[in-house]
Structure 1
Amino acid sequence: MDRIVIVGAGLAGGRVAVELRAAGFTGGIVLLGAEEHLPYDRPPLSKGVLSGRVEETTLPLDLDGVEVQLGRRAVGLRPGAVETDAGPVSYDGLVIATGATPV
């Protein structure tokens, strides 16, 4: 595989990208997310941020060498490409990580 696309730029998707590099994958990694910001930790967001105790909720993930495309919603899937609201994104390998656990 030369290029893996991860759909879902939350905790699960970010961890997949980090673990792919840790396992020695040297190809391209694309992390697609509909939201406009990097993966963040939701529990502090609901408590600490609202109370003013926490300012930063972005997860400390090493995404160096990962092509992060935020604000791109996946709208369809076909062999070899994820269709997004900004056009297709090609892949050799695909991870759908739109929940708490990568699939």
Structure 2
Amino acid sequence: MSEDASLTDFAAGDDGESGDEPVSDGEAADESDGATDGDGTGTDETTATDDVEPAETTFAWSPDGVCEACGVGAERRWRGEAGLVCGECKEW
């Protein structure tokens, strides 16, 4: 037999059981990855997402794009101080 397993090795047997045993509620709680503070209520340590700035694109392509610095039509624009600018206005 080869070392590679086939999909049939993981399929349910003739009796319809897959080999996975159901987990009781008590076992599921024991295996949880959540942090608790001793009384089972969890901790107040949460990640603050209010301080995170949303990501900005660095490049844009549009057939009717316009450079925000010089106003010339430009399909390819890169992020610059003025916004999305053409290659001529982009400070490399």
TM value normalised by structure 1: 0.18
Structure with more of its chain in helix, by fraction = 1
Structure with max Cα Rg:
2
TM value normalised by structure 2: 0.19
Structure with more of its chain in strand, by fraction = 1
